[in-house]
Each structure stands twice: as C-alpha cells, then as structure tokens.
C-alpha cells in the first residue's frame, strides 16, 4: 500500500495497554502521521481536538467508560470523529454495534500493520470530506448572513435561504429533501413546473418534480449535453429564457411529457465542491421574465441542494462499504470453521459457502453467520 501522509492530519489512540499505544504511535509516525496517545477515554477528553482531518483509534475495553459507550457519548456531544476500534475480546454483536454507529473499522488484536494503516487512511479521508462539506455550507451561510439591503424582498430572500439551509441540515432521506425543495421553490417563484435531475453516471435522471406527470420520476433521463438541461449540466451555467423556449436550438422535446411546450425556462446547475450534482428546472407555459433576484435565489438554493445530495451519497457509500467489510470478515471466519471441521482447503471452503448460498437462496453473509453461530453454540455446549 502506497499512501502520501498529510502531515496536518491527527490520529488519536486510546488504549489502556502502554505497549499497544507505543506500537501504534510508532507505526503512525513512521508514515508521517501525527499521533497522540491516551490511557483512557477521560484522559482523551481533556485534550484539545485539532481543526485538521482527524480520527480515533479506540480500544473496546477501557478503564471507566468502555469504547462502545464512549462512541455513543461522542455522538451525543456532536463530536464527529471517525473511529477505528481495536480489541482482543471482540464478538459479532460488538462488531455490528460499532459499525452501525458509524465506526470505520473493527480490528481484532493482533492485527496486521497494513490493516490498521488502511483503516486510518480511510477514516482520515472520511473526516476530510465531512470538513470540506461543512466548510462549503458555512461559507454559503456566511454569504447569506452578510447580505444587506434596504429592500424588503432581499430581507425575505435571506429568511428563505436560512430556512432552506436549516431544513437541509436535518439530514432526512434524500427523496424527502428533494420533494420539499420542489415544493419550496414553487412557493417562492411563479412557475408551472419544477423538476430536479440528478447526475447518475453519464445521465441526468429525474428524481423529483412538480408537474402533471409525477409517474415519470425515476424513469425520465437524458444524456449530459442533450437539450437545454443537458447543456446546463455540461457547461455548469444557468440558462434563462423568457419566451419561446421551444425555439431555442438547444431545446429537446420530451415525448414522455406531452405538454412539454413551455414559453419560459429557467435551468440552474446543482454543484458541490466544483463537481456537477444535477440540474433544477423551472418552466412556465406563458412568457415570463425571471428577475435577477429569482435567478440568484434559485442558484443559491442549487448550491445548498448540491451539498445535501453529496452528503447523502457519501453516507450511502460509507454504509455500503461498512456492509461489504462486515460480510468479508464473516465469510473469512466461516471459511476457517469449515476448514477446521471438514478438513478442507481454503478454496474448497469458499466454494462450499457459495454452493450453500445458491442452494438455500441466502446471501453469503447469511450463510456465514449461520455457520459461525452453529460453531459458537457447539463450542459453548
């Protein structure tokens, strides 16, 4: 594994075994990472956390509060620090509880150096992404707070954007957030139709809408560069057309929307961290002159929505990776049980798991869990 360590990143190690603390600290410093060690959770709480990407290597069994309860304590306190658990006394319930609560990894002692370093780099990348997203939202909120005008409508816009930022921070499921954004936009800007497309692969897929054809949500898609919407996605620039939008050379008639003959058209890209996330469209059946204020308002909401979509996708990816990691560990344990009990090799053990999965129509994870449970019951009796 080749990694370039960020010297500003910090790794905090909490373990009551001095030899483990020293060994982990030496390993981390050998690859250029800053490492601070502590003998208990209480001792760690007395330190000042840095503003740079950080993570926590945490033993499960500690004097005072144990590692799993300390994870819950940090979460309740709003301390979003990625955690890598290490333990010599772990079991499946512990593993599942830690990962479901957001842990990056759950390593059994003694672990390989490469395993720990891989987990640490993954945790630091996760924290770096979280901080970047928070900084973007903070900067946007700061822009909103600094808006100053004597006109009443600008004061209204500030209140609107604050409300939207607060609502998005609630971290509801993405489809609910998109639906609420559509309803919100329709309530503040006069339009007959509002649609939100999200970039999925190289296509823009309709994921939420306010129009006469809600059944096309999830089915309607277009390529980047196709139509006005695709042009906005490709160039990441808004398009504002007050009348005869259907005569624009970039316009594309969508057969899925029979009434898709709109006079006015406002299309704004959804962007986060310089990356395209999607496009939001407003349409009017009669000519309509979108004001500069309305365009600016929708563009700012677009930045907020773009950040929320990226947050939801990152969260979904973390959950998926955690599930894959958990499955891999269970399969490895189940293979070991089969090798020991049946006297077969590793490859044959894996094929046995595959065969059982296919015949019983169960996932590899479910089959592995059943084998491990059976082995634990046998040993306990």
d(CA 132, CA 137): 9
Beta carbons within 8 Å of 302's beta carbon, 6+ residues apart: 268, 269, 270, 271, 280
| Better-scored residue on pLDDT, 161 or 352 | 352
What is the pLDDT averaged over residues 60-71? 88
pLDDT tens for 274-333 read 788 889 999 888 999 988 878 888 888 777 777 777 766 666 666 677 778 888 898 899
pTM metric for this prediction: 0.44
d(CA 26, CA 22): 6
pLDDT of residue 153: 47
Cis upstream peptide for 110 (omega within 30°)? yes
Q: Which of 81, 152, 162 is nearest to 123 (CA)?
A: 81
pLDDT tens for 16-49 read 999 999 999 999 999 999 999 999 989 998 888 8
pLDDT tens for 102-118 read 889 999 888 899 999 99
Is the predicted pLDDT of residue 163 greater than 60, yes or no?
Answer: no
**10-14 vs 54-59, strand pairing mode:** parallel
d(CA 359, CA 52): 50
The SS3 call for residue 317 is helix
């Amino acid at each position: 594994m080749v990694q370039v360590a960020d010297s500003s990143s910090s790794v905090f190690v909490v373990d009551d075994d001095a030899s483990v603390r020293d060994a982990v600290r030496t390993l981390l410093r050998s690859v250029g990472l800053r490492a601070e060690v502590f003998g208990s959770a209480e001792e760690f709480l007395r330190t000042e956390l840095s503003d740079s990407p950080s993570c926590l290597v945490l033993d499960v069994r500690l004097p005072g509060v144990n590692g799993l309860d300390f994870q819950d304590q940090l979460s309740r306190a709003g301390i979003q620090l990625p955690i890598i658990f290490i333990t010599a006394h772990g079991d499946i319930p512990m593993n599942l509880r830690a990962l479901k609560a957001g842990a990056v990894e759950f390593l059994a002692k003694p672990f390989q150096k490469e395993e720990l370093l891989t987990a640490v780099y993954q945790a630091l990348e996760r924290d770096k992404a979280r901080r970047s997203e928070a900084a973007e939202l903070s900067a946007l909120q700061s822009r909103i707070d600094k808006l100053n005008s004597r006109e009443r409508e600008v004061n209204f816009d500030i209140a609107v954007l604050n409300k939207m930022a607060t609502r998005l921070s609630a971290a509801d499921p993405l489809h609910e957030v998109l639906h609420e954004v559509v309803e919100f936009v329709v309530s503040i800007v006069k339009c007959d139709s509002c649609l939100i497309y999200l970039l999925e692969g190289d296509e823009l897929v309709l994921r939420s809408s306010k129009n006469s054809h809600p059944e096309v949500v999830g089915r309607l898609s277009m390529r980047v560069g196709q139509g006005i919407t695709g042009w906005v996605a490709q160039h990441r620039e808004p398009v504002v057309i007050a009348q005869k939008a259907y005569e624009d050379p970039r316009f594309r008639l969508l057969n899925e929307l029979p009434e898709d003959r709109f006079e006015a058209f406002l299309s704004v890209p959804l962007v986060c961290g310089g990356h395209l996330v999607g496009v939001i469209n407003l349409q009017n059946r009669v000519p309509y002159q979108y004001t500069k204020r309305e365009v600016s308002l929708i563009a700012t909401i677009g930045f907020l929505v773009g950040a929320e979509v990226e947050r939801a996708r990152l969260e979904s990816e973390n959950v998926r990776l955690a599930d894959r990691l958990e499955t891999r560990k269970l399969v490895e344990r189940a293979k070991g049980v089969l090798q020991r009990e049946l006297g077969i090799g590793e490859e044959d053990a894996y094929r046995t798991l595959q065969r059982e999965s296919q015949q019983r129509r169960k996932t590899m994870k479910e089959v592995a869990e059943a084998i491990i449970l059976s082995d634990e019951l046998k040993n306990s009796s």
